[in-house]
Each structure stands twice: as structure tokens, then as C-alpha cells.
Chains A and B, each alone.
Chain A
């Protein structure tokens, strides 16, 4: 009879969008896996699972990271923010409103990742130049290549936050 591979588990406290979750995790589980499969937060997407596309971007202690390329155990005790923490479809925040108005997306699979990278940018730089916007979003691949509209969306968000 074949044997189950031995796996290791641990209990961690994960703070997601301001709420502490006590979770039992397999040591090899990534933060993305825990967010999606354990907490049901499916806004972060598994686009590549290698940190190469940015669809899984969340903020850890305020910085955008690829949640697919960090183990949940590396994040225990830190503050995680996901797209679910920003608002819902009936109460979009300023950034999301700007994406809607400027058509900053197509198929939408990359969109939560872009929103999180842009959130981090605008929290640290309220008036970014186009080059700064591009530099901040370069880790997010949009295969529909809606980049033009995405750049305009972030610009519009900065503008409307400033006013």
C-alpha cells in the first residue's frame, strides 16, 4: 500500500484585512493557497504560481508581494491586505471608480493584482508621474494588454484623490 508523503503542519495567526485568523497550515502552502483555499478570498489569482505575472499580488505590511511566492509561514504575524479589503462592487473606492471610468481592464483576471499594486503606489506617492506608474505596475502582466487604459486609470485616480 502506498504511503502518504509525510507533511508538516503548523498553526499560525494570519492578519488579513485587519482580522486575525488562526489557521492550521501545511508548511509548504503558499500565502496564495491559504488566501484562496482556506479563507475563500479568491480575488488574488493563480496566474503562474512563480511570481512572474502579479495576478496574486497582495500587500504585506504595505508592500506589494506575489502571494504565490511566499509561504504562509513567512507571513505569520504580519499585516496582509487583499483586494477584498478595499470595497465591494456597490461601493467602489476612488481607485476602483477610476478604473471603471477609464476602462482599466478587459478580461479582469489581472485586475485585482493591478489594483493592489496601484493601491501601494498611491499610498506612498499621491502624485506619480507616468514613469513612476509604469515602474510600480511592471510586475503585473495583463495579457489583454490593456496597459494604456490602466495607466490612464491610475492617473485619474491620483487626480481625483488630489482634488
Chain B
């Protein structure tokens, strides 16, 4: 590990300024489980780590009639077990519970999870000078791409690694980002950017900016949600494919739907055509297999990952099926 300086920020302003001043070789750190791995692998060179752990108010979960506010420093373990989240936002609790291991969930935070870097094995190896690291080539284009994207990828074929982001997008969450001059917020779908927009980052954060909280609107009483994740072993695996679905059902009819795919695209992947197809359908009449197929209609699998097309269709069908039979 190359030397770096660890700076404990006490205010958002201080954190932001320290980071902005040292950019581009500064990073924020909250739990650190992902960023330390990158530094150890020499994939990331940093001069300074700005710790957000001391910021006040960032470790709270506030539940109100309007919805939920979760501070960026709230750990995944808390999200997975928080009673209000488990009851009202089940997809989020399930997604948080599906991450890594208890040890990681006890340290890993919401903000860190959203900002974690890709797990692509070319990106993570210093022996591949890949597009995502500023190189010329995506090594996944032609082979060795079993875990890579089937949707929404042009040049770089990473998949976004976050489980939680997939659930949050299905729940129409808003991300609040802060810097020295204040906050701005955006729908979480706008927070993430694909490599075609910015090859070197997965989100819109500018130097000095960090995620400070996430807001989720309170779902109506007829809303239900679920997160499902396919893995290669029972536990401790990133998603081969995952899906979060939120459905609002009134009088046996779907009045709102949001289906989001994970593990298959460079960003948490919304499929609006599925949402509109579902909306207005009687729950007993939904052809879940057709819905699943529709979700992967635009898939462009690579040499080794066509299985993800079928898998993802099945996952969507299963998630929708589970919700409409609730």
C-alpha cells in the first residue's frame, strides 16, 4: 500500500474543501471496505482519504409520513434490520441483507455502497490497462465476460455492483449530495452515469461532493416491493443478475410499477417499457413470463453471458409473480 494521509473531517464544509483541494488524488472514506481494497490492489492511487465518519446527522434513519431519510453513514446492517425499512421498504432491506457478509455489512455504509467501484476483473487487476482506468481497451468485449453487462453498455462492459442502488431506484429514491456550498439532490436514476457519459466514474459527483443522504418517498398503502438476487453460491457473491420490483396495487389492478435490473448493466437499469406494460393490468392477468422477456428485449449479450438474458427474464418473472401473489 502506498502512503496516504487520513483526514478526519468534522464538518461537511471541511470535508468538501479538503477533498476538492486535493482532487483528483483525494477520496472520501466512510466504511472503507471497498476503497481500501482498491488502494491495496494499486488500482487506485490516493494521497488523501477524507473520512466522513465524524459528520453529524449522517448516521440517522428518520421515518416520517413523507417517507424515509437515511444518512449516508448508516451501515448496511442497520438498513437490513431497521424495522421501518423491513416493513415499509422490504426491497431495500432485502438488498442490504444480500450484500457480502455480516462483517462487511457492519462497516459498509449506504453512501459507500452507492459509490463503490466496479468489480470487473479487468478493472480490478493492475495487469489490465482497461478503458475504465483510462486505457484503450475493454478486455471484456470479446471474451472473459461471463459476469459482464448485457444491457446499456457500449464500450466498457462493467456492471454496477451495488445491490442497494437497484432497490433504491425501484423505490424512486432521491440522492442528496453535499459540498462546501450546500446540497443538491436528484433522482437516484440521475445519480448514476454509464461509461459512455463518464468513463472514469460511475456517478455525477464532482470534486468536493459526497453523498450525504438518501430520501425515499413513503409508498402508498397498496405498494409492495421485493429484491431478488441470483448468485453462484448461496452467500457472499455479487449478483449474476438481480431485480428490484415495486408495485402499487389497487383493486387488484397494478396502478404503478417500477422494475429495475442489477448485475446486468453499467448502471442500475430501469426498464420503463416493462413498467408501462404492467401498469393498468389486473394482477390475475399478468403474464409474468412475457414481462420477463420484455425486460430483456434489448439485451445484447457478449460471448459468455447470454445465460444472463434467460436468467434475468426469469428473475423478473419471479419477482413480479411473488408481488402479485402477496
Q: Which residues of A contact B (CB under 8 A)?
A: 5-8, 10, 26-28, 30, 49-52, 54, 57, 60, 63-66, 69-71, 73-74, 117, 135-136, 138-139
Contacts and interface: CB of A to CB of B under 8 A. Distances in A.
Contacts, number: 86
B5 interface: yes
Contacts of B1: 28
Interface of B: 1-6, 8, 29, 31-33, 36-37, 39-40, 49, 51, 53, 77, 100-104, 106-107, 235-236
Contacts of A5: 2-3
A52 B33 CA distance: 10
14 contacts: A28-B1, A51-B101, A51-B103, A54-B103, A57-B103, A65-B103, A65-B106, A66-B103, A66-B107, A69-B103, A70-B107, A74-B53, A117-B103, A139-B100
Given A138-B236, A139-B100, A139-B101, A64 B3 contact: no
Given A51-B33, A63-B77, A139-B104, 5 more contacts: A50-B37, A50-B40, A71-B32, A74-B29, A117-B103
A95 to B, nearest CB: 17
A91 to B, nearest CB: 27
Given A50-B40, A139-B103, A73 B8 contact: yes
Contacts of B33: 51, 66, 69-70
A49 B106 CA distance: 17
Specify which of A5, A54, A138 lies most central, judged by the most chain B CB atoms within 10 Å of its CB. A138
B102 A136 contact: yes
A73 B1 CA distance: 16
